């Protein structure tokens, strides 16, 4: 049997606005175009590209993270791999038994109970009834819904559906695993259990394609990342490079009034470039050099740190912290070194800089995405700030009435 693999080879996929399903009406023109051997697919009226010339391969023991904004085609890519859809052009293939969790309750019959849907989904995924019965208790225990296993799933919450769906996909002995961003509805402890399960699959040599908006999970689990963005070419590469590409504000890095000569984010203590997730409270250093292409009087440097989901973590300015204004003339070079502590919890963060006129007589120079960093997973349950708690807990035993005291 050939080794398990997940692969896209030059995949294009288009949709028609208002279209919900592929049909014979769409298939016949596609076959005509294929027969004509057009070198590049074309669009007709009301059509648009969801995926454009996407290629990748995930071999045993590898995990591919698929990221991008909403509407970029991430879920479509997984549906092409599961043959829910067909590519407009190119080849999408998966070898081996597929464990897939693409949508909440996908394939669940709403009137059947959780127990019945376990057997139904297992059969759809190619398992024998005896094999499903052997894994049944493990599935129920992992899902954490034993009291509701004989309740129709139409009564389940979205979180319960996610728990059961992932538990089934994770216990059908898959040769490959396809996971969409459905774990976000689960609570923190269940998400952690899922990520630990994904890590065990990777150690066992199972190839995984994983769609997520959780950049920390992507950084922890994946060897390579595919970035999809509407109307742009796909980006495939190493985790740090692609995450930096995603969180940076492309196009805003350059303002016509300045030229960015250097923008480097590194560890403060060693001076080394960031090579992976950093621990909470790491000391970071941003070195910036700009050349003024216009006169910029009364200039202050503003630091902004934003999480990948858009939450503003910090905004501060050099002049408000006691530094003098800088009066830049055309051709002047401005160098800045900003040292800060990443007192943050898990997540992906981007660093932005602005040059601000303290009298607000000229619009701010926005220099977005000068750096990015990922804070590693911790034992903290929730939140965004690391406060470094120190716990002291003591128990004073109560003296119970009637207790005998030996002198």
Encode pLDDT of 182-217 as tens digits: 666 566 677 778 888 888 888 889 999 988 877 767
Structure letter (DSSP) for residue 21? S
Torsion of CA 261, 264, 269, 272, to 10 degrees: -110
Residues listed for the chain: 407
Same-domain status, 234 and 263: no
192 shares a domain with 334? no
Confidence band for 245, pLDDT divided at 50, 70 and 90: confident
Any idea what the CATH number is for the domain that residue 268 is in?
2.70.50.60
CA within 13 Å, CB half, 8 = 28
Is residue 153 left, alpha or beta, with left meaning phi > 0 and alpha meaning psi from -120 to 50? alpha
Radius of gyration of the chain (CA): 27
257, part of any domain: yes
More confident call, 301 vs 368: 301
Distances (CA, A) of 258 to 146, 289, 326: 62, 10, 14
384 is a domain residue: no
Residues 170 and 272 in one domain: no
The last residue of a domain, from among 244, 277, 308: 244
Q: Which domain holds residue 311?
A: 248-375
Q: Is residue 25 part of a domain?
A: yes
Based on the fold, state whether residues 206 and 306 are members of the same structural domain: no
Say whether 403 sits in a helix, a strand or coil: coil
Alpha helices (runs of H) in 53-186, residue ranges in sequence order: 74-81, 114-124, 129-143, 158-169
Residues 40 and 154 in one domain: yes
Distance (Å, rounded) from C-alpha 93 to C-alpha 6?
Answer: 6
173 plus 200 within the same structural domain: yes
Q: Are residues 126 and 229 in the same domain?
A: yes
DSSP conformational letter for 29: H
Q: What is the pLDDT of residue 252?
A: 45
Does 195 lie in the same domain as 54?
A: yes
Is the residue at 97 inside a domain?
A: yes
Can you tell me the distance from the alpha carbon of 215 to that of 219, in angstroms, rounded to the nearest whole number?
6
Domain CATH code at residue 220: 3.40.50.300
Whether 160 contacts 148, CB under 8 Å:
yes
Average pLDDT, the chain: 83
245 forms bridges with which residues in the sheet? Answer: none
Together in a domain, 170 and 267: no
300 and 161 share one domain: no
How many domains does the chain contain in total? 2
Read off the pLDDT of residues 251-304 as tens digits, 9 standing for 90 and up.
345 578 999 999 999 999 999 988 788 999 999 999 999 999 999 999 999 999
CA neighbor of 227 nearest in space, from 238, 237, 235: 235
């Amino acid at each position: 049997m050939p080794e398990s693999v997940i692969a896209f080879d030059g995949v294009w996929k288009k949709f028609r606005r208002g279209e919900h399903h592929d049909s014979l009406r769409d298939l016949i023109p596609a076959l005509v175009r294929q027969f004509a051997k057009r070198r590049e697919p074309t669009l007709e009226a009301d059509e648009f590209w969801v995926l454009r010339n996407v290629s990748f391969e995930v071999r045993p023991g590898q995990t591919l993270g698929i990221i991008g904004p909403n509407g970029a085609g991430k879920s479509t890519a997984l549906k092409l791999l599961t043959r829910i859809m067909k590519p407009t052009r190119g080849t999408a293939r998966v070898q081996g038994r597929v464990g897939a969790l693409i949508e909440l309750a996908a394939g669940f019959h709403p009137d059947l109970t959780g127990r019945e849907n376990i057997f139904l989904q297992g059969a759809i995924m190619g398992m024998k009834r005896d094999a499903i019965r052997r894994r049944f208790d493990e599935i129920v225990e992992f899902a954490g819904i034993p009291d509701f296993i004989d309740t129709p799933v139409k009564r389940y919450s979205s979180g319960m559906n996610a728990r059961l769906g992932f538990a089934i996909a994770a216990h059908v002995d898959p040769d490959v695993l396809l996971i969409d961003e459905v774990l976000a509805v689960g609570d923190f402890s269940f998400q952690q259990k899922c990520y630990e399960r994904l890590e065990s699959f990777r150690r066992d040599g199972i190839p995984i394609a994983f769609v997520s908006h959780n950049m920390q999970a992507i950084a922890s689990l994946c060897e390579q990342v595919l970035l999809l963005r509407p109307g742009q070419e796909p980006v495939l590469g190493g985790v740090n490079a692609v995450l930096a590409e995603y969180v940076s504000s492309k196009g805003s890095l350059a303002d016509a009034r300045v030229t960015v000569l250097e923008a480097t984010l590194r560890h403060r203590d060693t001076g080394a470039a960031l090579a992976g997730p950093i621990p909470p409270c790491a000391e970071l250093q941003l070195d910036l050099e700009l050349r003024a292409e216009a006169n910029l009087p009364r200039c202050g440097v503003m630091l902004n740190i934003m999480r990948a989901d858009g939450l503003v973590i910090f905004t501060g300015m050099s002049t408000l912290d006691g530094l003098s204004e800088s009066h830049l003339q055309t051709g002047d070079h401005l160098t800045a070194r900003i040292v800060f502590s990443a007192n943050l919890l898990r997540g992906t963060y981007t660093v932005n800089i602005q040059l601000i006129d303290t009298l607000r007589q000229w619009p701010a120079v926005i220099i977005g995405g000068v750096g990015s960093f990922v804070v590693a997973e911790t034992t903290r349950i929730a939140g965004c700030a690391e406060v470094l708690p120190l716990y002291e807990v003591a128990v004073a035993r109560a003296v119970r009435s009637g207790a005998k005291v030996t002198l």
